[in-house]
Structure 1
């Protein structure tokens, strides 16, 4: 695969639901591998994903999934695939999705990039 250059980054703010918390850790891993990963596996070439636990800092959002996609369409396809799984509204409540383009202002207006880390 060539170097991954995301066109869009999405922050998916999630809150675990009781159905997820009532499962043991091995059951959660199995449910994730059986229900969630297959739905997004064919999108993996154009989308990458990371996740962050936040439940020990806030009660409103327990997890943040960060998606980077080569196109808006690639991210849209991932969301559509996730909506067809128990992940969406059964295991997790999708609290909010925030989508942005890294350094879009600098790219559009050509000033120096104002960040401590430049991609």
Structure 2
């Protein structure tokens, strides 16, 4: 199988809302907790995952943050979610409001057409 034929990464948008325990910490305590309690578990139990974190609390009352995860495949994604669920991130520091999972431009691969929603100006 060539690089062109490989499956696209799995992208998950975790819509999350901060919990009182997280908000009671100072910003430095939050960074330390994120690094030592959450990211260390993810790094120990997964490979092939990447993330970006977006603050949304000043635009949304429903969620305070969106944590975007990209996984090389569905197995890597499953291991990621399992790892996160075993940390204080899940239901202690944050409420997971929703998870939206997809693959970028999946319709284009399905129908063998160029992506129409990708724009660079």
CA distance in 1 between partners of 2:64 and 2:8 (Å): 25
2:11 is aligned to 9
What displacement does 1:25 show?
Answer: 0.7
Structure 1 segment 27-106 matched on structure 2, within 5 A: 27-42=29-44, 45-106=47-108
Q: Provide the aligned C-alpha RMSD in A.
A: 1.7
Q: Deviations over 1:36-72 (max 9, x none)?
A: 0111113564010001000000111000011111101
What displacement does 1:94 show?
Answer: 0.4
Alignment coverage as a number of residue pairs = 114
TM-score when normalising by structure 1: 0.89
TM-score when normalising by structure 2: 0.87
Structure 1's consecutive aligned runs of 4 or more residues displaced over 4 angstroms after TM superposition are none
Consecutive unaligned residues of structure 2, counting only runs of 5 or more, are: 1-6
Q: Deviations over 1:78-113 (max 9, x none)?
A: 110010110100000000110001111110101221
